[in-house]
């Protein structure tokens, strides 16, 4: 039987002592593409549900040999992946709630219409599919975290991970945008590692470090005698990355002349080594990166528009570290443990006051700056904890609002004090983010509270309550 377009289908087992119910379910569901089997015995039905390959079980709540709730418990205990829908003529609110508490997906009261049964089964299958996709996504996110290449618990970093999982399997060119030091190469490597090209090479190059006279030879290669000093042929980075990924960092530094040559390579999938008469086919995925606004460069005539659109198929933007302060403690601790393990340092962590200073700093050098500062501390501090006195003067500065609120200058003396310090640091950082969230929403909606609440997905009373919390007033004192 052909599967109806747009519908999910499954093997369905009906467990009901009324044969007419089994026949009715089969008559309704088989035209929908489902394979339906029937069992009149509760005991035998449980055995078949547990041992068989069924996605959905339709279970009667009242059977002579085994109560339906008991059957439900047995099925869910032994086969938690099976979706159970209760069908009963004795459906009451209490029994329905009890069945759902025990693991049932939904219930359909007898007598039911064909539409009621078909829709319930379809919703159950959609729920199964969604749960399976979520499990797969969480597993992938877990694998990303385990690699420690993309550290961070903030929503911004979770969004980056999800985007990587979406774009990695495709063959499209990706351009990563972000300030210097945000970890654009790590993003590119993660895309490579989660693509079908993971078994091939990952070749990174910062094109801003290549002189205009060498960039073509480095990327495309050259033949022997192509120029003075070319004593032998050398494949370019495009060829070296064959079967894998070529990461072109700081792309905006390329000259307009070379941008044209790069565009031709991307479109033809061929390179012509310097001095060669013919072209060489390449099999490379390109991930580019820049800390500049390419579109603005196009507007200013400093970047080719056709190359911009060829590269910007899938843009990924990496947030600055100052925009995700919740990630600072995690990153700092990871860098400290990593460097301490490599050097044998006795350092165990940071004092609360030192961590507050790190959180309050605006990090113009982003993650790279944080890593350098932590590694410097590991190399120079011979105590167990990094204190404020071990941080650079520009970071120590004057006391921040976070530190003034905490009033802590040393490591908490007890576990309770440590717990309280953590809570207060988290609360203060979150309040800063929450206030900025409100102001941004209001600004984007011209101060209109109703529109701002709708735009961010909050109920208007909840949005207004947050405004009162931070003494924020809408433009001109108006709420709408």
Residue range 431-440, pLDDT digits in tens: 777 777 888 8
Q: What pLDDT score was predicted for residue 115?
A: 92
Nearest-angstrom CA–CA distance, 136 and 194: 13
| Average of per-residue pLDDT across 259-266 | 94
Query: Distance between alpha carbon 377 and the CA centroid of its chain, in Å?
Result: 31
pLDDT band at 461, cuts 50/70/90? confident
Q: Average pLDDT, whole number, for the chain?
A: 84
- With a cut of 90, say whether residue 326 has pLDDT above it: no
Q: CA distances (Å), 321 to each of 380, 396, 434, in order?
A: 25, 18, 17
Domain boundary among 132, 164, 188: 132
Helices and strands (DSSP H and E) totals, the chain: 20, 16
Q: What pLDDT score was predicted for residue 417?
A: 65
Q: What pLDDT score was predicted for residue 480?
A: 46
Q: Using the 8-state DSSP alphabet, how is residue 121 labeled?
A: H
Are residues 85 and 120 in contact, defined by beta-carbon separation less than 8 angstroms? yes
- State whether 309 and 165 are in the same domain: yes
Q: What pLDDT score was predicted for residue 415?
A: 65
pLDDT band at 2, cuts 50/70/90? very low
pLDDT band at 59, cuts 50/70/90? very high
Query: Residues near 37 by Cβ (< 8 Å), separated by ≥ 6?
Result: 11, 12, 13, 14, 48, 52, 54
Q: What percent of the chain has pLDDT over 70?
A: 85
Residue closest to 435 by CA, chosen among 463, 397, 411:
463
- State whether 285 and 382 are in the same domain: no
Q: CA distances (Å), 260 to each of 121, 144, 238, 382, in order?
A: 56, 36, 16, 54
| Average of per-residue pLDDT across 214-230 | 85
Domain boundary among 319, 349, 384: 319
| Average of per-residue pLDDT across 2-28 | 82
Q: What pLDDT score was predicted for residue 4?
A: 38
- State whether 341 and 216 are in the same domain: no
- State whether 189 and 267 are in the same domain: yes
| Average of per-residue pLDDT across 384-392 | 89
- State whether 381 and 333 are in the same domain: yes
- The answer to which of 116-120, 272-276, 394-398 has the lowest mean pLDDT is 394-398
Quick: pLDDT tens for 295-322: 999 999 999 999 999 999 999 999 999 9
Q: What pLDDT score was predicted for residue 449?
A: 87
Residue closest to 120 by CA, chosen among 91, 68, 84, 94:
84
Q: Using the 8-state DSSP alphabet, how is residue 305 labeled?
A: H
* Enclosing domain of residue 221: 155-319
Nearest-angstrom CA–CA distance, 308 and 98: 59
Q: What pLDDT score was predicted for residue 227?
A: 79
Are residues 34 and 10 in contact, defined by beta-carbon separation less than 8 angstroms? yes
pLDDT band at 414, cuts 50/70/90? low
Q: Is residue 431 in some structural domain?
A: no
Are residues 86 and 107 in contact, defined by beta-carbon separation less than 8 angstroms? yes
Q: What is the pTM of this model?
A: 0.55
- State whether 205 and 265 are in the same domain: yes
Strand-pairing partners, residue 88, are: 109
Q: What percent of the chain has pLDDT over 90?
A: 44
pLDDT band at 408, cuts 50/70/90? very low
- With a cut of 80, say whether residue 192 has pLDDT above it: yes
pLDDT band at 1, cuts 50/70/90? very low
- State whether 199 and 308 are in the same domain: yes
| Average of per-residue pLDDT across 54-80 | 91
Domain count, the chain: 3
* Cis preceding linkage at 77, omega within 30: no
Q: What pLDDT score was predicted for residue 88?
A: 80
Angle CA(468)–CA(469)–CA(471) in degrees, nearest 5?
55
- State whether 197 and 270 are in the same domain: yes
């Amino acid at each position: 039987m052909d599967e109806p377009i747009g519908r999910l289908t499954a093997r369905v087992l009906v467990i009901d002592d009324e044969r007419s119910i089994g026949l009715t379910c089969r008559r309704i569901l088989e035209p929908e593409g489902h394979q339906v089997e029937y069992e009149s015995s509760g005991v035998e039905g449980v055995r078949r549900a547990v041992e068989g390959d069924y996605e959905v079980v339709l279970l009667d709540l009242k059977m002579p040999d085994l109560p339906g709730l008991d059957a439900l418990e047995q099925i869910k205990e032994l086969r938690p992946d099976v979706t159970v829908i209760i069908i009963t003529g004795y459906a009451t609110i209490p029994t329905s709630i009890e069945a759902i508490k025990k693991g049932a997906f939904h219930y359909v009261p007898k007598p039911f219409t064909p539409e009621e049964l078909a829709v319930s089964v379809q919703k159950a299958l959609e729920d199964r599919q969604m749960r399976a996709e979520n499990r797969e996504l969480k597993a992938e996110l877990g694998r990303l975290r385990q690699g420690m290449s993309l550290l961070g618990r903030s929503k911004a970093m979770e969004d980056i991970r999800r985007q990587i999982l979406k774009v990695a399997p495709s063959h499209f060119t990706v351009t990563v945008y972000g300030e210097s030091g945000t970890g654009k190469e790590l993003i590119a490597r993660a895309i490579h590692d989660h693509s079908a090209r993971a078994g091939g090479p990952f070749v990174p190059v910062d094109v801003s470090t290549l002189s205009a006279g060498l960039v073509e030879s480095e990327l495309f290669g050259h033949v022997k005698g192509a120029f003075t000093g070319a004593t032998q042929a050398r494949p370019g980075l495009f060829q070296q990355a064959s079967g894998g990924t070529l990461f072109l960092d700081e792309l905006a530094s390329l000259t307009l002349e070379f941008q044209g040559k790069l565009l031709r390579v991307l479109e033809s999938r061929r390179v012509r080594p310097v001095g060669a008469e013919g072209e060489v086919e390449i099999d490379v995925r390109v991930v580019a990166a820049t800390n500049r606004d390419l579109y603005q460069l196009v507007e200013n005539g400093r970047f080719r528009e056709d190359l911009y659109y060829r590269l910007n198929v899938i843009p990924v933007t990496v947030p600055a570290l100052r925009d995700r302060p919740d990630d600072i403690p995690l990153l700092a601790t990871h860098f400290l443990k990593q460097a301490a393990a490599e050097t044998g340092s006795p350092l165990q962590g940071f004092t609360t006051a030192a961590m507050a200073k790190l959180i309050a700093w605006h990090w113009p050098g982003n993650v790279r700056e944080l890593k350098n500062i932590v590694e410097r501390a590991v190399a120079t501090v011979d105590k167990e904890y990094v204190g404020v006195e071990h941080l650079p003067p520009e970071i120590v500065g004057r006391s921040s609002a976070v530190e003034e609120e905490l009033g802590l200058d040393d490591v908490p003396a007890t576990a309770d004090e440590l717990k309280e310090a953590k809570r207060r640091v988290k609360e203060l950082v979150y309040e800063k983010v929450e206030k900025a969230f409100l102001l941004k929403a209001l600004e984007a909606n011209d101060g209109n509270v109703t529109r701002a609440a709708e735009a961010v997905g909050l109920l208007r009373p909840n949005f207004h309550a947050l405004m009162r919390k931070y003494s924020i007033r809408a433009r001109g004192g108006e709420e709408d």
